[in-house]
Chains A and B, each alone.
Chain A
Amino acid sequence: MAATVTHDTLTTDSEQVFDKKTWMGGVEPMKVSYGKLMMWFFLISDTFTFSALLVTYGLIRYSYPAWDPAVFGEVFKFSNLYWPTPEKVYNSVPFLHGVDLPLIFVGIMTFILIFSSVTMVLAVEAGHRMDRKDVEKYMLWTILGGFTFLGSQAWEWSHFIHGTETGTTITELINGQAIQRTIFGANLVENQYGPPAFADLFFFITGFHGTHVFSGVVLNILIFYRASTGLYERRGHYEMVEKVGLYWHFVDLVWVFVFTFFYLV
């Protein structure tokens, strides 16, 4: 778009960028097009959306004690008295039923998402070379990575919702009487793995992130379609790939934080 026009009229010399002319008006500073600038500012605001959610997580998380063997017994078991240890909650992998594989599956998911960022970089780079074939190829890999991540997340959610085979027995106080009940899995109201807040936050934050990934995949498909019909070739540049790429990297970066908070801390 706008950036490419100025690219040709101005020199692309990198030392020119910090020239005093940069901010003198009549020119787009550092030749950043308005679209790219808008994407950056959108990402800044979205950062604050996620920050608010992660602050919420932190505040509620630390209002609960962690599992302490000295207090709650040597063997870890699920209880709504303390925040569960993530390795004990997320320890399943599809087709390996009953095997304790702590954080393996989410590790694979994370790797896939980060790898899709790599293919996105390659697509952007191919766009700079005006190589339509390569843009198509790497966009397709990125889309595939995105869908795989979403599918994995769906499995993870489903597993989390259905729960373990034995479930957890909880004691409830109903009309002054203590009643025991076994619950399986988690939803927004009750949770076999720990306090309901744990499940609430898990569903809300990973769901909010998953919605972002999903919109990213939709955008990626749109870009792939437009690249493969030759629209960007006719336009003379692949800047749209770059802009959507920014969004995709952002979504990945957010996942790194979500992953850290939910699975590692």
Chain B
Amino acid sequence: MATVSANPAIVAHATEHDHHEPQSFWRKYIFSEDHKTIAKQYLISGILWSIIGISLSVMFRLQLGFPNLKLGFLRPVLGSWINETDKLDPDFYLALVTMHGTIMVFFVLTAGLSGTFSNFLIPLQVGARDMASGFLNMLSYWFFFIASVVMFSSMFIETGPAAGGWVIYPPLSALPQAHKGSELGMTLWLISMALFIVSQLLGGINYITTVINLRTRGMSFSKLPLTIWAFLLTAILGLISFPVLLSAALLLIFDRSFGTSFYLSEIYIKGEALPNVGGSPILFQHLFWFLGHPEVYIVILPALGMTSEIIATNARKPIFGYRAMIASMMGIAFLAFIVWAHHMFVTGMNPFLGSIFMFLTLIIAVPSAVKAFNYITTLWRGNIRFTPAMLFSIGLVSFFISGGITGLILGNSALDIQLHDTYFVVAHFHLVMGAASAFGLLAGVYHWFPKMFGRMLDEKLGYVHFWLTFIGIYLVFFPMHYVGIAGFPRRYYAFTSYDFTKNIFADMNAFISLAAIFTFAAQWVFIYNFVNSLIRGKRATQNPWKSNTLEWTTPIIPGHGNWVGEIPAVYRWPYDYSKPGAKDDFIPQNVPYSQTPESNLPHENELISLESEIEAQNLNDQFKQPH
């Protein structure tokens, strides 16, 4: 190959980085290619979506808890979806449920969580100037933005947004004449999701490539923070599962709009026989859950990764079982792809196949339990600092355990016959993936806010926020298990027709609704804290949590390229907290063993000889390469 360095164009390009022209407002804040700005865009979008998503749930909780309540006061927001008798339109109830699910799963806990923190932390924690491709990263956000606009606009059309549940099972979703929400609303839902999938793929390809190619010198995979491992595995899950949803959605679009019969067969609707033959609605469920199941791990894994980091930092102890944590995340990621049919036990599946999927499903308890015990043993006898981020992380562990245990019950194909599609399922997944991931997201915001915005979030408000939310969530979802065991099915508009639903369970539903409103109200403490601290928060120091990872070695507000001068080299794992003999209770990753003879273990002394080799291998700094 020709000698590249002799090429004058490349030399000129390589040196121009020292004096970047100031960028215009549009390039700097809107169509930015900087991973930190894109992360903040994802965060703000995620927060806005979560306000919308949770508001929707409060609306249908009002209906469920107080079926006789006059909802006329919602008319300014919902318009004619509140009918003449001041009741919520039953069709719109289904739309509310669908949109709540879609928004929370995809737009808040996928884009808002992994979009924010993968973008923000991957380059900062692996020691890269930016993502591998800033341009594709920008595209990824803007595809998400267009998907958001389409989804949001679907809420304002005459027939209302999609109403087939977030799983959009055909034939309900495939036949426009089946339901109001299967008309234009469903078309917009499918368009929005197709754009969202493109966004996820662009993002995921970038995350994986950045982790593989742009780790700084010394940052081997065995020295990666667990956050990065989690983001990497999340991106791999998304890369493999989202395309299958894309195929499923495209086939559904053809069934809806072009008369094909991939999912349709032998249907009578409104007394009329449809011509469609040969398709299978179960096929859609298989394709959907091949994404849908990994999706729940796409939601929870980043939260688990971030809380591992936060718990180790704030317990001032190395994470217990670093390698076991990685292995269990890999195990979860692998098993995620071979358990999807446990969502389909009651579809008429062969019971033998059901027992295989049950077996595979229950195996997930093993890596999950390994993680739970590792969290607890990390906390055990730690020198715990109860920062708000730490409280939220411990809250995640609590939800992960109490929600995970009911997963063992639901994963059983026999018990699932009784519990399928009841509020027991709703309670289970809201605890284990909803609340737990949301707590991971909040913990991440409390922990990395100083690095993002250069200011601290108010601690006292953080404590208030934590306790109100933590108690509120248990008040919502604990009683919900009983409602589910009693047999209440999900997605029902009202339960007023049966005697057994009228006494104790009506009260329980009212209680759950009150707790939900209470929890939603508590989130405004956070919103206030977020906005207020953004403007008036205490200025952050460079390393406010005395943490080991690389992002805290950057300037307080990192600029283009994150580090001034050379990217630091990495010599040790990220969990050297409270090391015996060391003068501080933390040793950042960029401190070489040669500088810490007092705390080195024998095998670490041997690593000193490698240091010059590590320092010399500085070949992937993006500023030194044409790009």
Contact = CB atoms under 8 A, between A and B. Distances in A.
Interface in B500-550: none
A38 interface: yes
A48 interface: yes
A204 B260 contact: yes
Nearest to A199: B260
Given A25-B219, A26-B614, 20 more contacts: A2-B625, A8-B3, A25-B220, A26-B619, A27-B619, A28-B619, A34-B209, A35-B133, A38-B136, A41-B205, A44-B239, A50-B247, A51-B244, A52-B248, A60-B279, A189-B259, A197-B262, A204-B251, A208-B250, A237-B2
A19 to B, nearest CB: 10
Interface of B: 1-5, 7, 9-10, 126-127, 132-133, 136, 201, 204-206, 208-210, 212-221, 223, 239-244, 246-248, 250-251, 254, 258-262, 275, 277-280, 283, 286-287, 290, 569-570, 613-614, 617-620, 625-627
Contacts of A27: 217, 617, 619-620
List the 6 shortest-distance A-B pairs measured between CB atoms, nearest first: A26-B217, A197-B278, A52-B247, A25-B219, A34-B132, A26-B617
Interface in A197-250: 197, 200-201, 204, 208, 234-237
A130 B251 CA distance: 44
A59 B277 contact: no
Contacts of A110: none
A154 interface: no
Contacts of B254: 188, 200, 204
7 contacts: A6-B620, A23-B220, A25-B215, A26-B619, A38-B132, A42-B201, A195-B278
Contact of B243 (A23, A49, A63, A195): A49
A9 interface: yes
Contacts of A53: 247, 251
Contacts of B7: 234-236
Contacts of B132: 34, 37-38
A254 B250 CA distance: 18
A60 B243 CA distance: 20
Interface of A: 1-2, 4-10, 21, 23-29, 32-35, 37-38, 41-42, 44-53, 55-56, 59-60, 63-64, 128, 130, 188-189, 195-197, 200-201, 204, 208, 234-237
B217 A25 contact: yes
A59 B250 CA distance: 17
Contacts of A47: 243
Contact of A42 (B205, B247, B619): B205
Contacts of B248: 52
B571 to A, nearest CB: 11
Contacts of A51: 244
B240 A44 contact: yes
Contact of B261 (A32, A38, A59, A196): A196
A196 B209 contact: no
A45 B240 contact: yes
Contacts of B213: 2, 28-29, 32-34, 37
B620 A1 contact: no
Nearest to B257: A188
A90 to B, nearest CB: 20
A49 B248 CA distance: 9
A225 to B, nearest CB: 19
A92 B250 CA distance: 30
Contact of B247 (A29, A56, A197): A56
Given A52-B247, A196-B261, A24 B220 contact: yes
Given A7-B1, A42-B201, A60-B278, A29 B244 contact: no
A25 B260 contact: no
Contact of B260 (A35, A46, A188, A234): A188
Given A25-B220, A25-B570, A60-B262, A5 B209 contact: no
A204 B618 CA distance: 49
A192 to B, nearest CB: 15
